[in-house]
Amino acid sequence: MRDVAVVAWAQSPCRAANRRDDMAGILLPVIRETVNTVGIDRDDVDFVASGSHDFYEGRTFSYIDSLDAVGAWPPISESHVESDAAWALAEAWSWLQLGEGDIALVYGIGRGSLPADLDQVMPAQLDPYYLAPLAPHRDAIAGLQARSTIEAGLTSEQGMAEVASRCLASALDNPLAQRSEQVDAAQLLEAPYVSSPLREHDVAPVGDAAAVVILAAGDAARRLAERPAWLRGVDHRMDTHYPGVRDLSESPSTGRAAHRAAELAGFSASDVDVAELHTEYSHQEAILSGALGLKGAAVNPSGGPLAGRPATATGLIRVGEAARHILDGRADRTLAHATSGPALQQNLVCLLEGDG
Amino acid sequence: MTGTAESLSAPYTVEFPFERTVGPTIGTFLGGLRDGQLYGVRTERGVLCPPLEFEPGTGAETGELVPVADTGTVTSWTWVPSREGDPVPHDFAWALIAIDGTIGALFHAVDVDGDSGRMTTGMRVRARWRTERVGQLSDIECFEVTS
Amino acid sequence: MTNVLPEPVTTIPNPFRMDYTYVAGAGRSMFLRGLAERKLIARRCAGCGQVYLPPPEFCSRCLTELEAPFELDGRGAISTFCVVSFPFPGQRIDPPYVVAHIQPHGAGTRLMHLVREIEPEDVHIGLEVEPVWVPDDELDTSLLSISHFRPTTEGGADA
């Protein structure tokens, strides 16, 4: 295995709706910030990987727009995933492991505000035979999962509100968060259900943002960052799709990804100081903490997705936030989790570590 | 186009009028719905409903389709406001329903006359069939409380 | 007892309809607003000298903000073209017609547009062309404010 690290990270502010910028316009200042942080020229980047989704953008091959921000000419080595950009990071990590180059730039763009009604869009991620024809409410499958999680004894509506309250308070220290406030759980519980037992605060607010991570291998990483955030283990797994054949209160794919990441890393999720979890819904924190085996880690100190969920950039932001604690010298071992698909169907786990 | 001082913006619509092939297993299940009969598929663990071409736990090919009851038990549910196009014209529940005698659960709507207080995990429900059926999941209008 | 299975269904409808908001972006909007006033607005990069038409906000080579906008008259040369001869759904012009990449003089990028007022067999790479604007009451924040390009005439674009 090569040593591969996050050496730079930046994101644009999470906004409920950015009506000023096109794709490249959102992304370009963030790319500029990361390359300036490590003092490289874009020509020094050996590989570019990105993640976004046409169903959020509303156009086929929409990500081509964003290539203006990385400069596709002269021809670059480049790849795109139609998913959360955390999966682009996994691809870039693999590419660096293969020794094809030393520096990779990963970006994610998520624009959840462009669809006029996400209820029209979200069924497109469901199976086309048994689920999509019913066009369920965008949060309905998560609502089923939340009830299963409560009835399995893993959380409660009170517990979910406490998670949301904690995340929104943490986000007060995150100027890039979309939502932040000091509000107690009892007050949150007065709100009506959106898809019971989910209330508005239980659902991560969708919006727009871009995120960029620069990865570097070996000596390049040591040259570019004072304290690289080494990606010691990366793995992703998925569960079967149809919710009727899953125990929705569990996430076996998260457990498997965490197990494999720990084998690669030589330490496990139980050893980390900070965990950034891609909780699209508040009840998922309980499922994920259990599946990962967290012990005493600070969960989502950035506020997490409950304070801002810029569609397909959300998972990559988790990696960036987990790396930031190491780059800044505030933690030695951190974890990032990303998800894709309905009710935590696909899950990615990264274990990061700083030099002592 | 309209928009902010800095950027123009405009509404537009994308439509995909797709038809999708369904394969032999799902096709037979949907044929059963058209005929007013629910089917499951034999697996090593029992009869799976709704049927899949493979057993999700092991990937093993599934076997024969067999008729099953149109009654079951709600294993989870979520209460939602009714929107245009929904199967029930007033507020209702989306639910997972374990069809009697089968493994797995079917995702469908449950109608309790707009009274969320009547929804419970473990409640007994029965399919409400449409009179005009075409071989789609909507041939079951929704499930209703077993009287 | 024999298990007589129903006649299988072979296909189901799987339609999607999704409504979106298109956001043109600040850079592109400046260009589109220019078109509504018969103006082709370009911007130059101070770093590499590239002139963009239409201009984004940033140079995609240098990552720096482009300089102040200025106007080009739209006259240029065909850098490549094709003759569209087949009909397709949604087509608005009867084939055959010419679609060309036009390199406007003073710009480092190319515009794609129709070339008319010339027989397709007479079009060639390097042909000098000029924009033909639609009447004032049809001008819009759209490239359709230019009806087409035609071989450059003696009197210029506004003749």
Contacts of B78 in chain A (CB under 8 A): 137, 139-140, 143-144, 146-147, 195-198
Q: Compare all CA atoms of chain A with the CA of B140 and give the residue at the minimum distance.
A: A134
Contacts of C56 in chain A (CB under 8 A): 22, 24-25, 68
Is position B8 within any domain? Answer: no
pTM of this prediction?
0.95
Of A130, A151, A202, A250, which to mutate for an interface test with B (greatest number of B Cβ within 10 Å)?
Answer: A130
Interface of chain A toward chain C, CB-CB under 8 angstroms: 18-25, 28-29, 31-32, 35, 42, 55, 58, 68-71, 113-117, 120-121, 123-124, 128-129, 132-133
Cβ within 8 Å, pair C11-B35: no
Other beta carbons within 10 angstroms of residue A68's beta carbon come to 21
Average pLDDT over residues C106-134: 97
pLDDT category of residue C154 using cuts at 50, 70 and 90? confident
Contacts of A120 in chain C (CB under 8 A): 16-19
Crossing angle for the helix pair A252-265 and A284-292, nearest 10 degrees? 40
- As a whole number of angstroms, the distance between CA A199 and CA A191 comes to 7
Instruction: Note whether C14 contacts B: Cβ–Cβ < 8 A.
Output: yes
Q: Which residues of chain A are modeled with pLDDT < 70? A: none
**Angle at Cα A299 formed by Cα A293 and Cα A304, nearest 5°?**
130
Residue A71's pLDDT is 80
Give the residues across from A11 on adjacent strands: A211
Length of chain A: 356
Residue A232's pLDDT is 98
Cβ within 8 Å, pair B31-C9: yes
Q: Which of C7, C11, C22 sits opposite B22 (nearest CB)?
A: C11
Inter-chain Cβ pairs, chain A and chain C, closer than 8 A: 76
Q: Comparing C-alpha atoms, which of B139, B111, B147, B110 is closest to residue B38?
A: B139
**What confidence tens digit (pLDDT) does each residue in B54-75 have?**
998 889 999 999 999 999 999 9
Inter-chain Cβ pairs, chain A and chain B, closer than 8 A: 108
**Angle at Cα B70 formed by Cα B66 and Cα B72, nearest 5°?**
110
Is position C10 within any domain? Answer: no
Is position B63 within any domain? Answer: yes
Q: Enumerate residues 6+ apart whose C-beta is below 8 A from A197.
A: A143, A146, A147, A150, A157, A160, B78
**What confidence tens digit (pLDDT) does each residue in B75-128 have?**
999 999 999 999 999 999 999 999 999 999 999 999 999 999 999 999 999 999
Distance between B7 CA and the closest CA of chain A, angstroms: 5
pLDDT category of residue C63 using cuts at 50, 70 and 90? confident
Residue A286's pLDDT is 98
| Dihedral sign for Cα atoms in the order A154, A156, A159, A160 | positive
Is position B116 within any domain? Answer: yes
- As a whole number of angstroms, the distance between CA C125 and CA C111 comes to 14
CA distances from A131 to A126, A341, B39, B86, B96 (A): 6, 13, 17, 13, 12
**Helix or strand holding residue A86 (H, E):** helix A86-97
Is position C76 within any domain? Answer: yes
Structural domain including B39 reads: 14-145
Is position C43 within any domain? Answer: yes
Contacts of C1 in chain B (CB under 8 A): none
The predicted complex's ipTM stands at: 0.96
Residue A338's pLDDT is 98
The answer to whether residue C3 scores a pLDDT higher than 90 is no
Structural domain including C135 reads: 26-151
- As a whole number of angstroms, the distance between CA A208 and CA A21 comes to 10
Average pLDDT over residues C133-158: 89
Residue C1's pLDDT is 56
pLDDT category of residue B3 using cuts at 50, 70 and 90? low
The two most distant CA atoms of chain B are separated, in Å, by 64
| Chains contacting A (3+ CB pairs below 8 angstroms) | B, C
Domains and CATH numbers, chain A: 4-115+205-353 (3.40.47.10), 118-202 (no CATH)
Cβ within 8 Å, pair C12-A116: no
Residue C157's pLDDT is 47
Contacts of C26 in chain B (CB under 8 A): 6-7
Residue C159's pLDDT is 41
Length of chain C: 159
Q: Which residues of A80-116 are buried (b: 16+ CB within 10 A; e: fewer)?
A: bbebbbbbbbbbbbebbeeeebbbbbbbbbbbbbbbb
**Which tokens belong to A226?**
């004072």
Cβ within 8 Å, pair A22-C19: no
Instruction: Note whether C15 contacts B: Cβ–Cβ < 8 A.
Output: yes
| Chains contacting C (3+ CB pairs below 8 angstroms) | A, B
Cβ within 8 Å, pair A25-C22: no
Cβ within 8 Å, pair B9-C8: no
Phi and psi at residue A162, to the nearest 5°:
-65, -40
Q: Which residue has the tokens 């060309």?
A: C100
Q: Enumerate residues 6+ apart whose C-beta is below 8 A from B58.
A: B44
Is position C50 within any domain? Answer: yes
Cβ within 8 Å, pair C23-A28: no
Other beta carbons within 10 angstroms of residue C72's beta carbon come to 18
DSSP of B64-84: -EEEE-SEEEEEEEEEE---T
Cβ within 8 Å, pair C16-A120: yes
- As a whole number of angstroms, the distance between CA C151 and CA C159 comes to 12
Is position B1 within any domain? Answer: no
Interface of chain C toward chain A, CB-CB under 8 angstroms: 12, 14, 16-28, 56-58, 60-61, 63
Instruction: Note whether B59 contacts C: Cβ–Cβ < 8 A.
Output: no
Contacts of A146 in chain B (CB under 8 A): 78
- As a whole number of angstroms, the distance between CA C156 and CA B134 comes to 64
Is position B44 within any domain? Answer: yes
Q: How many distinct structural domains can be found in chain B?
A: 1
Q: How many distinct structural domains can be found in chain C?
A: 1
- As a whole number of angstroms, the distance between CA B135 and CA A133 comes to 12
Percent of chain B predicted with pLDDT > 70 = 97
- As a whole number of angstroms, the distance between CA A334 and CA A321 comes to 9
Q: Which of A29, A31, A115 sits opposite C18 (nearest CB)?
A: A115
Percent of chain C predicted with pLDDT > 90 = 84
Three-state DSSP state, A109: strand
CA distances from A118 to A58, A205, A309, A323 (A): 11, 12, 14, 31
Is position B7 within any domain? Answer: no
Average pLDDT over residues C88-100: 92
Length of chain B: 147
Q: Which of A29, A35, A121 sits opposite C18 (nearest CB)?
A: A121
- As a whole number of angstroms, the distance between CA B24 and CA A224 comes to 56
Q: Compare all CA atoms of chain C with the CA of A129 and give the residue at the minimum distance.
A: C12
Is position B40 within any domain? Answer: yes
Residue B5's pLDDT is 79
- As a whole number of angstroms, the distance between CA B7 and CA A24 comes to 14
